Each structure stands twice: as structure tokens, then as C-alpha cells.
Chain A
Amino acid sequence: MTVLVIRRLMQSAVMLLAMSILVFLGVFAIGNPVDILISPQADQAEIARATAALGLDKPLWEQYFVFLANAAHGDLGRSFVFNEPALRLIVQRLPATLELAFSAMLLAVVLGLPLGLYVGLRPDTFLSRLIAAGSILGFSLPTFWVGIMLILVFAVWMGWLPSTGRGATVSVLGVDVSFLTWDGIRHLILPALNLSLSRIALVIRLAAAGTREVSHMDYIKFARAKGLTRGRVVRVHVLRNILIPIVTVLGLEIGAVIAFSVVTETIFAWPGIGQLIIKSITVLDRPVIVAYLMLTVFLVIMINLLVDILYSVLDPRVRLAEARA
């Protein structure tokens, strides 16, 4: 297990380096941040001053080496726009995004699994067909549109839930979380639902397919023949065996949800890193883009590592040595 972890960490270091080079080259190819940030009233002298102040007058390779040297000390640069350390900006907003991401995944599992199991166990009922059809809508409808519809229906027309923003927060271990207050939960419902819709659909379909496959297995028939209750058969024997593909997909999805909850965060004005990154890309705030993408890469690699370890817990047939690739 230790070998696996160390190997993964080394892989992540290589990926992080590659990512930073890509971002530097990418931002350089798009344009010059100074042209966007500078006041329109500025004259040429002011443009030159701003360029020098942001370190953009040096050749690209020199800027990159300055970045690497600072990164070795843990300083990923200062945002051009906010003049605060990029890493601190991201870490400040990370709890909001994590809260949203975990709520979305929780909804995906809590709603998706039971519905998927039902569809798999009783595929011919009307409810089952309804859920299956609904799941198609779940991953075809664009998140953008669904978000606005949710706001329109639940906030503007019904007035049941707030339309945007994050609710009141309490500080837990120095981190601000909002799911511990009722106001916070009310604000969390719509964006979490929006973000989770396509994941719920995915989990329903995976669970349904897995259940249908597993239900025909011999050990299920044997368990029923042994006299175990239906509930126990489903809970212990069916559920455990359909979880591998679901865990794989959820593992991939949680990385995506954390990194790319941009659309939901923009619509619901949720103060997370998604909003920050889209704003930073629009104005070419390179330090923030670099820091964000490096953090994302690291997060995705770590999550995949956890997923691999989780395999061996869920399925004793899988040895961690096999998970090396």
C-alpha cells in the first residue's frame, strides 16, 4: 500500500509540472493580461509600469523559472487582479465548493442508489419506467438551463427557497461551513440539486444495470433458497456487488464536480472556486489559473488513489498490487 501511495505521489509531481508549463504557454498564447486589466484611460507609460509590476516584461521562460523557484517555497504567485497570494484565494473559497460538491454527491448516492435498485429489481412497473425515462432527462438537460429553471420555479414563482447565494455560515475548526444552519441548508438545496442531477441519472442507470446483472447470479438464488429475507439479499448481496462500477464513476465524477462546478456556481452566485476560475480566465489572471489547475490535478490524482484503495475494501478479490496500473 505504501508503495502505491508513493508511486502515485511521484506521478502527481510530474503531472503538476506538466500542467504548469501548459498553463504558462496557454495564457501566453491567448493574450496579454495587461491589455485587459489596464484602465482604458491609461497612457503608454502606465501600461509599461503595469507590465513591469506584474513581471510580464521578462521573457516567458524567465517568468516560468521565477514561478518554479517560488513554488518550491509554496508560493504559487500573487493574483494580478486581487494582489493576494493565489493559493490563499483558492483555499479561502475551497470550503464553499467542497460543501457544494459533497452535497451533490451525497444526493447522487442517496437518491440515485435506491431508485436505481428499484428499477433493477422491478423493471416492468410503471414507476420503474418513469424513473428510467427521467434519468435520460437528467443527463441530457444542460446544467445551465436546469439551474435557471430551478430558480424560476422554486424561488421566483413558489418563493419556497432562496434564489442565489450561500446561507449563514458557522466556523468549524476554522473552516466556514453552511450546512449546519437551517438557512445554510435552504441555500444549499437548489445548487446541490442542480449539480447532482446528471450524477443521479448516472447512478440510477449504473445501479439498475448492475442490479439486473447481479440478480441472475447463482449466489443470489442460493441466498434466497437458504431462506434469507429479500431485504437482506438486496442489502448485503446485491448492493455490495454492484458498487464497484458506481464507486469508479463517482470517484471520477467527484473530481469533475469539485473542479468544474463553474456553471452551477456562476448561476447560483455560489462563492466557490468555480466562480473564481472563470473570472480569472476571462481576465487572464495567470497565477490564479496556474494555482487552480495544479490544485485540481493534485485533487483528482488523490481521489483516484482513494478510489483504488476503496476497491480492495469493497471487493476482496481485488488486490492492491493489481491496482498499480
Chain B
Amino acid sequence: MLRRPLYVLAALSAALPMSTARAQELRVALQAEPTSIDPLFHTLGPNNQIARHIFSQLVHQDEKQHLVPGLALSWKPIDDGVWEFKLRSGVEFQDGAPLTAEDIVFSIDRAPKVPNSPASFAIYTKAVKAIEVVDAATLHVRTGTPYPLLASDLSTISIQERRVVEGKATEDFNKGTAAIGTGPFKFVEWVPGDHLVMVRNDGYWGQKPDWAKVTFRPIPNNAARVSALLAGDVDFIENVPTADLKTLKGNPRIRLVEAVSNRVIYLHLDSNRERTPFALDNDGKPLPGNPLKDRRVRLAMSKAINRQAIVDRVMEGAAIPAGQLLPDGFFGVSPTLKPEPYDPEGAKKLLAEAGYPQGFRLTLHSPNDRYINDEKIAQAVAQMLSRIGIKTEVVAMPQAVYFSRASKLEFSLMLVGWGAETGEPSSPLKSLLATYDPAKGFGAANRGRFSDPKLDELLVQALATVDDAKRELLLRQATEVGIGDLGIIPLHYEVTIWGMRSDLTFVGNTNQFTLAADVHPVK
């Protein structure tokens, strides 16, 4: 019985050379499909991924999320509160019309105004107070106060053609009539749930992609997606499940490409309130105080976690232990913060010092369908905490229930993830560790209500410092304050894994995007 598949594999491998006739066509299996082709409707991973195929932006992000020229050749602050963008010339839309500065102004203007958006791009254009078209190749963008993240924010805004899009709705993008961009691929057809087809844009202003036609198919079930690759029904898949890594690594017809991502998985602790709902004493009665308020308890918990073991056993090697908000190599990463070494004895000593020599009981809440292996990670963490005396129970639930309750501050210890879309720590600092302040827009996801005025001050300064070197220093210092005080306990950074035919290769990126333009046949 086992021999037959081998014969079939051999026969199929002999048949492979015929498939190079199809060499110009790429079939990609996605885990999740976009909710719309309109690039400004919904800021969601799959949507933004597809937008980068059909549209271009003023500023592009390379595979390490560094900002590189897109439709703008250069950008610099010319004043406190004014940025000058020099535009690329000779760019044409996919219907032949030339790209003008008016199209750019229209797109940035449209971004916060798309009706019924569940997650709009307004957050990226909030800083733009006015745009001035100085001449056909120069734009002045006024931000009022100094705002260093402008170029980064504008890298999310896809540029559309005003003449085509004005007055049209999101549905017209899905049908294709409004989906005209300046990107490397032209939209052909989208049948939701079934396939999305694009063809190469031969008038593209940048490096032309290797593929004449790309078909995206959503296959949400992990096993089915891997099977589709193994069966040869698709050439490229994203998000290879960790359970299949070993078998795929041993398969000579499959290549795996790994890249560290900007997503950190961490524990958020209810560290500021006087009482916390899920910390109980060993008899099950409520504790007189909140143990998570004590820094020694938080440090003990961080020491008790064997991050390398989680990476090796739970994530099957597809992760990197974390000591802060972003991995090495990113802007604003502190060289002094390292992952907390595994030290259960030290953890027990700290707990005793803090007044809990017998430990206490805690509940860890986690989603079970949001992050890679989220529930398994939670179970591993709970076991590790129990070993030092904090008897931890895990309650996992679907994200539909989890996030609402977590935001209502119903939990004490939460497993969460954060992907820094800007490629630098100001976004996690602002949302996770800054003092909760709806007026300023800080701490929107600060579910532990961690608060340190020093961090707030450093962050506010960083967000107004345009000079890169100075800003990096401020961000490093702010991170050191937040992590030093254990506002969150970082666990690991996710490593994104893509699977493909062995005669293909891919330039892995930190944004977890699957970009057909970065897939190349092996020479």
C-alpha cells in the first residue's frame, strides 16, 4: 500500500517538465481572501496584500519594512509640519491614463471617507491637514505639528484614478470597473470564495513581475491547503501549519521559505487595578490585593516561562524568543533588552519576596482561532507558571467572544499578539503601553491599563521628532521603560512560512504578505 504512492510520485515527477510550459502562470492558495478589492475600504491583511498587486503607493515598504520610493521618488520635511514629496514621472494607470498629482490628492482625501468601513484608513490620514500641489512633480503635505510617521502612514494608501473612482462605490471595485491602479498586476476577475485572477501589467513603471497570470484561491482549511500544494493543484501557499513543517521539509519537491515577522505574541497583565477578577488564593478565595501589581510577581512570571521550549516544541521552530516589541533588525529596537532567561528558581525566590511563597491561583485567557497555535501556547505557559507555584488554568475561546470581553477588562492574564504595521515600535508603544487616554488616542489596546508617565513623555516626544536618529533613541528608551517594568511579557515573534514548488523561490517579508511579484522561478 505504501509503495503505490511512491510509484505515483515518481511518475508525477517525470511529468513535471511538461508543467514548465505553464511557467508563466502562478497559482497561489491563500488562507484568507480579501473582503473587497477596494484598497481603501478595509485595512485588513488580505485586503492590503491584494492592494499591493493592483495598486501602488507613494511610499513602498521593502521586505524588511524599510521605506523605499514608490510613486514618490523622495520625501523630506522642509519645515516643522510640512513634508515635501517629489513624484515619479511617466507613470500610467492600467487603462492608459497618466498618473497626476490630482489622483494622489484624491486618493488620500478618499481614504477616511469610504462609507461603511469596518476598519478605515482614517488612522493613516489623520495627520494630514492639507495637501498642496506645488507643481506636477511636487506635493507639500501639511501635518501642522512635526509628524515623523507620515511617509510610513502614506505607504498604506493605494493611489487610485480620480476620473474612474469618483462617485463609485466599493462594489464597483469588486466587479472590476473601478479597480484601475498603477501596480504590477491588472485585475481580471474575482469570484468571492472561488478565485481571484490577475494578469501582468506590461506598462508597469517598476520591475515587471515574472508571471503573466496569477490566480489566487482561498483555501482556509490548513490540511486542504497543504494537500493542494502536494497534489500540484497550486504552486504556492501561505501560512504552512507548524504541524506539517517536518514532513514538508523532507519533501524534495517542496521548498519552504521562512521570514521573521513583525508580530509579537505576548502576555498582557491586569497590572494597574486594585483587584483583579481571576487571581485567587490557594483555597479559591479572592486575594486581598492584586498580585500582578507587584513588579516582582510579573518578573517571576516572565522568568518562569521557558521561551525556547515553546519555540521548539509548540511552534516547531517557527518562532523566535522575544525580549521586547520587535525582533532584531527593526528600527527602534533596544540592544539591551534580551529575552528573559529561563530561571524557575529565581522566579520562586521573587514570588516569596513579594509575599506569595505558596503562590496563588490565576486564570489565563486566550483566543483559540486567532494566532498560530494560540491555545497550545497558552497551555504551555500555564504549565510553566504552575511549576513555580502560580497554579494557572487556561480558558480559551473564539476571538468573537474573546476580544470584546478583554477590552471590557474582564480578564487578569491575557494572551494576545501585535503586528507592528509601521515596522517600528511606536505603534505597540502607543496602543499597548501608553496610558489609556481616549482624547489623545493612546492606550486603545492597553488592556492591562499599564501607566508610566516617563513612557508617555518619551513616546509623545518620539512621535514629534522627525530626525530619525533622535527618534530611534527615544523609542528605544520608551521600550526599555515599558518592558523593564513588565507592562507586557513578550513571549516570541512569529516566523512566517510560505510553501512552494521546489523550482520557485520567494523573497520573504516581515509583513506576512504573500506577494506574487516576489515569487521567482529558480534559474
Contact = CB atoms under 8 A, between A and B. Distances in A.
A162 B42 CA distance: 33
A171 interface: no
Given A43-B444, A54-B118, A151-B224, A162 B8 contact: no
Contacts of B438: 43-45
A120 to B, nearest CB: 33
A163 B400 CA distance: 30
Nearest to A38: B119
B122 interface: yes
How large, as a class, is the contact surface on chain A? 35 or more
B191 interface: yes
Interface in A140-170: 148, 151-152, 155-159, 162-166
B427 A41 contact: yes
A83 B36 contact: yes
A269 B400 contact: no
Interface string B163-201: 000000011001000000000000000011111000000
Interface in A40-55: 40-47, 49-50, 53-54
Given A31-B404, A37-B118, A49-B122, A43 B224 contact: no
Nearest to A158: B8
A42 B119 contact: yes
A35 interface: yes
A32 interface: yes
Nearest to B399: A36
A296 B142 CA distance: 53
A291 interface: no
A269 B227 CA distance: 12
A93 B193 contact: yes
A157 B7 CA distance: 10
Nearest to A150: B227
B404 A35 contact: yes
A169 to B, nearest CB: 8
Interface string A276-320: 100101111000000000000000000000000000000000000
Nearest to A51: B118
Nearest to B9: A157
Contact of B194 (A36, A54, A271): A271
Nearest to A42: B123
A78 B35 CA distance: 13
B227 A156 contact: yes
B41 interface: yes
A53 B233 contact: no
B442 A165 contact: no
Interface centre among B12, B192, B194, B220 (most CB of A within 10 A): B194
Contacts of B224: 148, 151, 163-164, 267-269
B228 interface: yes
Contacts of A57: none
Contacts, number: 168
B232 A159 contact: yes
A125 interface: no
A282 B231 contact: no
Contact of A46 (B122, B194, B230, B418): B122
A93 B44 CA distance: 23
A62 interface: no
B400 A281 contact: yes
A266 interface: yes
B431 interface: yes
A53, A163, A284 — most chain B CB neighbours (10 Å): A163
B133 interface: no
A131 B110 CA distance: 64
A121 to B, nearest CB: 34
Contact of B192 (A40, A78, A93): A93
Given A36-B403, A38-B118, A43-B441, A162 B194 contact: no
Contact of B193 (A37, A84, A152, A275): A275
B193 A31 contact: no
A290 to B, nearest CB: 15
A164 B217 contact: yes
A158 B227 CA distance: 12
Contact of B120 (A49, A84, A269, A272): A49
A92 interface: yes
Interface string A74-99: 00001011111000010011001000
The interface centre, meaning the residue of A148, A162, A269, A281 with most chain B CB atoms within 10 A of its CB, is A269
Given A30-B400, A35-B403, A84-B174, A282 B233 contact: no
Contacts of B218: 269
B117 interface: yes
The 9 closest A-B pairs by CB, nearest first: A271-B193, A43-B441, A31-B404, A37-B118, A44-B438, A271-B194, A39-B119, A155-B231, A157-B5
Interface of B: 4-5, 8, 12, 35-36, 41-44, 115-120, 122-123, 170-171, 174, 191-195, 217-221, 223-225, 227-228, 230-233, 369, 398-405, 407, 418-419, 421, 427, 430-431, 438, 441-442, 444-445
24 contacts: A38-B118, A43-B123, A43-B444, A45-B441, A47-B444, A50-B119, A53-B115, A53-B118, A54-B118, A83-B36, A83-B115, A84-B170, A148-B224, A155-B228, A156-B230, A157-B5, A158-B5, A269-B218, A269-B220, A271-B191, A271-B194, A275-B220, A281-B400, A282-B369
